[in-house]
């Protein structure tokens, strides 16, 4: 578990002030018009599905924690490998499903939920409920038996001249053609077959 000081917990997915990425990255339209790309793109800029991701340096523990800003690479790793968003170790996973803690917005829950928050382990769930300001306002602890990778959350672009034009930040599924025009910063799972433990 990372910590800026011995007495303060910094979530694994949080950004540190010495980690940088361009707030307004330069993207170009691909020559065949099929989406966006970096003009100096390298293999590491895309995931195995061909999705273009925000570039970010990785220096956890350096500088000051930026709790409100999620690091795209660590968020993606935690979601893909089902790691705890707080400590980075495996999330709590039993025969009843994987553990998630979500902010309670007061809205009714649907049968399937799209989440960009990685799962959590039981000790960190208790700790997060006490320390995280957003969760202190209300949270839902649940176990999900289904949690398929759904898509990404990111900035969508449209064709434009001289460069593609950003439109909005949105969640897009892997099967949506718009994903080729999206610069991803979070991996999204669809969770279902869940049981609410506390609310």
CA distance 125 to 189: 19
Three-class secondary structure of residue 102 per DSSP: strand
Short-list 186, 2, 197, CA closest to 98: 197
Peptide bond into 153 cis (omega under 30): no
| 78: DSSP letter | H
Q: What is the pTM of this model?
A: 0.90
pLDDT in tens, the chain (199 residues): 433 333 478 999 999 999 987 777 899 999 998 999 999 999 999 999 999 999 988 999 899 998 888 999 999 999 999 999 999 999 999 999 999 999 988 888 899 999 999 999 999 998 887 777 778 788 899 999 999 999 999 999 999 989 999 999 999 999 999 999 999 999 999 999 999 998 7
Domain extents in the chain: 2-198
């Amino acid at each position: 578990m990372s910590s800026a000081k011995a007495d303060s917990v910094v979530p694994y997915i949080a950004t540190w002030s010495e980690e940088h990425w361009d707030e307004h990255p330069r993207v170009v339209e691909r020559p065949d018009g099929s989406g966006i790309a970096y003009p100096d793109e390298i293999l590491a800029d895309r995931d195995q599905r061909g999705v273009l991701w925000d570039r970010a340096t990785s220096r956890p523990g350096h500088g000051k924690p930026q709790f409100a800003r999620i690091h795209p690479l660590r968020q993606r790793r935690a979601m893909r490998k089902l790691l705890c968003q707080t400590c980075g170790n495996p999330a709590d996973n039993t025969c009843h499903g994987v553990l998630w803690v979500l902010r309670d917005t007061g809205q009714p829950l649907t049968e399937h939920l799209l989440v960009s928050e990685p799962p959590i382990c039981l000790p960190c769930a208790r700790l997060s409920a006490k320390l995280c300001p957003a969760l202190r306002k209300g949270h839902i602890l649940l176990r999900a038996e289904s949690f398929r990778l759904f898509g990404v959350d990111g900035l969508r672009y449209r064709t434009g001249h001289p460069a593609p034009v950003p439109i909005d930040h949105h969640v897009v599924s892997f099967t949506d053609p718009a994903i080729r025009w999206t610069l991803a910063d979070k991996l999204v799972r669809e969770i279902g077959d869940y049981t609410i433990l506390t609310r």
